[in-house]
Structure 1
Amino acid sequence: MSNKVLKTIIIVMLVAVVIALILSSLAPVMG
């Protein structure tokens, strides 16, 4: 795999983790 693809995959994974954390912290507030 090329470096560009690897970086893209890592960024996507990090974004997914951040979104999951935000959703889990918002879930109790939302309802």
Structure 2
Amino acid sequence: MGKPRGLRTARKLKDHRREQRWHDKDYKKSHLGT
């Protein structure tokens, strides 16, 4: 039962990044835009 920890935190970080990106207006514009 060594380390699912690293993987889990990585995944969490990724999700967090995604949320942050969605809150970023420029990101939203460039990806939802046109």
Paired residue total: 25
Structure 1 or 2, whichever has the larger Rg, is: 2
Q: Give the TM-score normalised by the residue count of structure 1.
A: 0.66
Q: Which runs of 5+ in 1 are unaligned?
A: none
Give the structure with the higher percent helix.
1
Between 1 and 2, higher relative CO (CA 8 Å, sep ≥ 6) is seen in 2
Aligned-residue sequence identity (percent) comes to 0
Q: Which runs of 5+ in 2 are unaligned?
A: 26-34
